[in-house]
Amino acid sequence: MSEGIRVAVSTVIFSLRSRPDAPDALMLPLVRRTRGPFLNHWAVPGGWLREDEGLDDAAARTLDETTGLSASYLEQLYAFGEVDRSPTRVVSIAYWALLRQDLVDAQLSTRPAPENVAWFDVDDLPTLAFDHDRIIAYALWRLRNKVAYSRIAAGLLPDEFTLSELREVYEAVLGRRLDPSNFRRLIEGSEALVPTESFRTGKHRPARLFRYNAEVALAETGPPT
């Protein structure tokens, strides 16, 4: 039987953060542990599953409790259950979500994050507790995989955006530069985007704003209920 096994949840939140004089960076919040094991190590936000709550609810609750953040939709990523991933036997159900920077800022303006929370560039992570490096690597793999064939980038953008802004999201997620002309041809050839009649003006020449075609689902929504 499985009486000695405990169940936890953890959640990887990706956001795109602007940086002065540098391209936007894909970042995620981590929580510095205030107890053992792995005291003072950084960990993915999470906590124990309660007997009276479902997995999705537990992910949302522990994310809120540890970081002050909430996402409109958390997608289940994977159940991590290696025997030696923790000193005691813990199966952790990992979730992930995208959260727009303006929504992060709005949430933290009403209730500041706990002191032991910090945001890290996905390419510059600290030493992590447990197998959380593996959880983050898999969440990143899933995100990169999805951005290539779905409308997932919409979760990181405002409702309307220029093609350059969209390309910068792809570049931050994929971790490499893309050729602007090729990118424009690829996107314009798909039916994912709808042009608007608005333009972004500024120091460059005006650029048309686009929005995603709302008829296409943003992410896999899990099993039918």
Which parts of this chain interact with a copy of itself (CB under 8 A)? 1-8, 48-55, 76, 78-83, 89, 91, 93, 134-135, 137-138, 141, 149, 222-225
C-alpha–C-alpha distance, residues 92 and 206, integer Å: 48
Residues 6 or more apart whose CB falls under 8 angstroms from that of 147 comprise 153, 169, 170, 173, 174
Element (H, E) at 194: strand 193-200
C-alpha–C-alpha distance, residues 81 and 10, integer Å: 13
* Shortest CB 190 distance to a copy of itself, Å: 15
Asked if residues 83 and 5 have their Cβ atoms less than 8 Å apart, the reply is no
**With respect to a copy of itself, which residue has the nearer C-beta, 103 or 192?**
192
* Shortest CB 1 distance to a copy of itself, Å: 5
SS3 for 106-140 is HHHHHCCCCCCEEEEECCCCCCECCCHHHHHHHHH
* Shortest CB 140 distance to a copy of itself, Å: 10
* Shortest CB 161 distance to a copy of itself, Å: 26
**With respect to a copy of itself, which residue has the nearer C-beta, 54 or 112?**
54
Asked if residues 207 and 199 have their Cβ atoms less than 8 Å apart, the reply is yes
- 3-state SS assignment for residue 30: strand
* Shortest CB 82 distance to a copy of itself, Å: 5
* Shortest CB 189 distance to a copy of itself, Å: 17
**With respect to a copy of itself, which residue has the nearer C-beta, 140 or 163?**
140
What residue type is assigned to position 225 of the chain? Answer: T
* Shortest CB 104 distance to a copy of itself, Å: 26
Q: Specify the residue for token string 């409790």.
A: 65
How many helices and strands, by DSSP H and E, does the chain display? Answer: 5, 9
Residues 6 or more apart whose CB falls under 8 angstroms from that of 184 comprise 163, 167
**With respect to a copy of itself, which residue has the nearer C-beta, 130 or 161?**
130
**With respect to a copy of itself, which residue has the nearer C-beta, 79 or 216?**
79
Structure tokens that stand for 222 in this block: 């899990």
**With respect to a copy of itself, which residue has the nearer C-beta, 73 or 78?**
78
**With respect to a copy of itself, which residue has the nearer C-beta, 87 or 195?**
87
What residue type is assigned to position 161 of the chain? Answer: F
